């Protein structure tokens, strides 16, 4: 060793690899999250997802809600466009609300609009609370 060289101290700085990612503030192991997402995408039953990923039913429901929110925010950031020259798009709307005993009166609820592109099978949907 040369007398003029300083000895390097090991770095004590630690950065959590989950920070700023999908796994951010979770206390679950990475494998549990990955197994959950894989089974959730395949539309597996809740009881099976919770059993295989070794989490409670409540945790599985919370993670499903979180995954839905992630998909919704992704869709809102970059909504898909349908149609174009030579493409046929079918559109429809429905109002979801409660209609009790009377018929023909104003129903409180939300309008949901949807579109389906023939051929490709791509769809879009959107909701409006007051229209």
Q: What is the pLDDT of residues 68-123, one digit of tens each?
A: 888 777 776 776 788 889 899 999 888 777 766 666 666 677 788 888 899 888 88
Residue 130 sits in the same domain as residue 91: yes
Strand order in the sheet with 109-117: 89-97, 109-117, 123-128
Residue 107 contacts residue 98 (beta carbons within 8 Å): yes
In a domain, 53, yes or no: yes
- pLDDT value at position 2? 60
Is 1 a domain residue? no
Average pLDDT of the residues in 45-54: 90
Element (H, E) at 94: strand 89-97
Which residue did the predictor score with more confidence, 35 or 95?
A: 35
What is the per-residue pLDDT for 97? 73
Low-confidence winner among 33-37, 52-56, 71-75, 100-104 (lowest mean pLDDT): 100-104
**Contact at 8 Å (CB) between 57 and 46?**
yes
Structural domain of 126: 81-101+108-131
Helix (H) or strand (E) holding 125, with range, is: strand 123-128
Kindly state the percentage of the chain with pLDDT values over 90: 13
Same domain, 88 and 47: no
pLDDT of residue 102: 63
Number of domains in the chain: 2
For residues 49 and 85, membership in a common domain is answered with no
Same domain, 55 and 95: no
pLDDT of residue 20: 75
Query: What is the pLDDT, as a whole number, of residue 39?
Result: 92
More confidently predicted of 1 and 123:
123
């Amino acid at each position: 060793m040369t007398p003029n060289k300083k000895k390097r101290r090991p770095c004590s700085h630690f950065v959590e690899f989950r920070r700023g990612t999908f796994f951010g503030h979770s206390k679950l192991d990475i494998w549990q999250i990955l197994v959950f997402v894989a089974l959730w995408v395949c539309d597996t039953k809740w009881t099976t997802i919770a059993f295989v990923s070794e989490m409670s039913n409540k945790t599985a429901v919370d993670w499903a809600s979180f995954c839905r929110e992630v998909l919704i925010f992704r869709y809102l950031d970059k909504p898909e466009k349908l149609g174009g020259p030579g493409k046929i798009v079918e559109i429809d709307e429905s109002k979801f609300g409660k209609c009790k005993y009377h018929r023909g009166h104003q129903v409180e609820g939300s309008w949901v609009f949807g579109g389906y592109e023939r051929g490709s099978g791509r769809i879009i949907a959107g909701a409006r609370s007051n229209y």
